């Protein structure tokens, strides 16, 4: 005889059908990117539309590299630089501030933490127009400073690290460091930071993905000569919107790094998102 809970939680075949369908719909556009990106230009307008990959990916990607309007390689390079710098900084500043809020006592800490949480709710697009003007004044228009410096810190990062630090690090551990005569920074560097590694990993992955994919601000402040990857893709698709096999080869190449990161670290990323949801 099966118990009530077993009866309740068993899974019917229909559940699997629905889930497989949802998974296929989720993955199909990736596949479609590869299909069109690997087809020759004249075969993509066939009726019925092509459903399997071809063998022209190399040719198509070659045309991407030759395309002066998009500066694809510059975009790729810029995206790698910007995303790495932002990720490193968000993790370091986030863990430093999160440690301070979770484990150190100082005047005004509650009010300051509240201020950070409030800023998480304000949409960043609000400041776009003056920020654009500020970048002109700083002579940062069309430079990587403009797309890096404003994003070196993240309210979400501080908050997430604080949550993790307050439960993952015991006060005794900090006390022991103090008794041994370590400075606060030394305690952070050799005790706290290593203990925060799992949360730092998730924060780093999420930040990297977000920065890699950000669009509106780089689009506003960078020119086609010096784009990030997303801006490069957009210009590629405007200027050559009939050459879909070229555009899709570029889109696929620009997406593959993230898909690989996700396939390797997906479990942690999903765990991080779900944990964040329950706590907030």
Partner 1 sequence: MSLSATTAPPSPAAPPSPDLPSRQRRGRLLNHLDVKYSPYLYIAPFFLIFGAFGLYPMVRTAWMSLHDWDMIGEHSFIGFDNYTRLFSDEYFWNALVNTFGIFALSTIPQLLLALFLANLLNRTFLRAKTFFRMAIFMPNVVSVAAVAIVFGMLFQREFGLFNWLLGLVGVDPVDWDGQRWSSWFAISSMVNWRWTGYNTLILLAGMQAIPKDLYEAAEIDGAGPWRQFWQITLPMLKPTFTFVVILSTIGGMQLFTEPLLFANGNILGGSQREFQTLAMYMYEMGISNLNTAGYGAAVAWAIFMIIVVVSLFNFLLVRRSAK
Contact 148, 82 (CB under 8 A): yes
Instruction: Examine residue 110 and tell whether it contacts partner 1 (CB under 8 A).
Output: no
Task: Say how many residues touch partner 1, by CB under 8 A.
Answer: 101
Cβ partners under 8 Å of residue 41, min gap 6: 243, 244, 245, 246
Near partner 1 by CB under 8 A: residue from 42, 68, 110, 123: 123
254 token code pair:
């620009």
Show contacts of 30-34: CB within 8 Å, 24+ apart: 30/255, 30/259, 33/248, 33/251, 33/252, 33/255, 34/248, 34/252
Rounded alpha-carbon distances, angstroms, from residue 42 to 66, 191, 244: 19, 60, 10
Question: Binding marks (x or -) toward partner 1, 180..219, rule CB under 8 A?
Answer: ---xxx--x--------------------x--xx-xx---
Q: Which stretch binds partner 1 (CB under 8 A): 65-73, 90-98, 163-171, 196-204?
A: 90-98
212 token code pair:
């890699």
Q: Which candidate, 75, 106, 103, places its Cα nearest to that of 230? A: 75
Rounded alpha-carbon distances, angstroms, from residue 207 to 61, 89, 193: 28, 10, 18
Find the binding residues for partner 1 in span 126-145 (CB under 8 A).
126-134, 136
Find the binding residues for partner 1 in span 20-79 (CB under 8 A).
22-23, 25-27, 29-30, 32-33, 36, 44-49
Question: Binding marks (x or -) toward partner 1, 153..172, rule CB under 8 A?
Answer: x-x--x--------------
Instruction: Examine residue 2 and tell whether it contacts partner 1 (CB under 8 A).
Output: no
Q: Which stretch binds partner 1 (CB under 8 A): 52-60, 62-70, 164-172, 241-249?
A: 241-249
Minimum CB–partner distance for residue 111 and partner 1 (Å): 12
Near partner 1 by CB under 8 A: residue from 56, 91, 116, 200: 116
Near partner 1 by CB under 8 A: residue from 65, 114, 152, 176: 152
């Amino acid at each position: 005889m099966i118990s009530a809970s077993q009866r309740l939680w068993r899974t019917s075949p229909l559940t699997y059908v629905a889930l497989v369908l949802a998974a296929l719909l989720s993955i199909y556009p990736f596949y479609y990117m590869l299909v069109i990106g690997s087809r020759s230009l004249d075969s993509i307008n066939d009726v019925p539309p092509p459903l399997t990959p071809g063998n022209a990916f190399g040719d198509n990607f070659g045309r991407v590299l030759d395309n002066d309007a998009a500066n694809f390689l510059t975009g790729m390079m810029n995206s790698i630089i910007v995303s790495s710098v932002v990720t490193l900084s968000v993790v370091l500043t986030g863990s430093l501030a999160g440690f301070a809020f979770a484990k150190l006592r100082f005047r005004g800490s509650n009010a300051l933490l509240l201020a950070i949480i409030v800023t998480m709710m304000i949409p960043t697009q609000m400041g776009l127009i003056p920020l654009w003007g500020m970048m002109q004044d700083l002579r940062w228009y069309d430079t990587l400073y403009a797309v890096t410096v404003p994003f070196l810190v993240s309210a979400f990062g501080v908050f997430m690290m604080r949550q993790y630090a307050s439960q993952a690090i015991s006060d005794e551990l900090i006390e022991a460091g103090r008794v041994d005569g370590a400075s606060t920074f030394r305690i952070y560097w050799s005790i706290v930071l290593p203990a925060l590694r799992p949360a730092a990993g998730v924060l780093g992955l999420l930040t990297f993905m977000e920065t890699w994919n950000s669009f509106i601000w780089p689009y506003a402040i960078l020119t086609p000569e010096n784009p990030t990857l997303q801006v490069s893709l957009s210009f590629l698709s405007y200027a050559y919107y009939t050459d879909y096999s070229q555009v899709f080869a570029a889109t696929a190449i620009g997406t593959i790094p993230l898909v690989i990161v996700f396939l390797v670290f997906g479990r942690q990323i999903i765990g991080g998102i779900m944990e964040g949801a329950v706590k907030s």
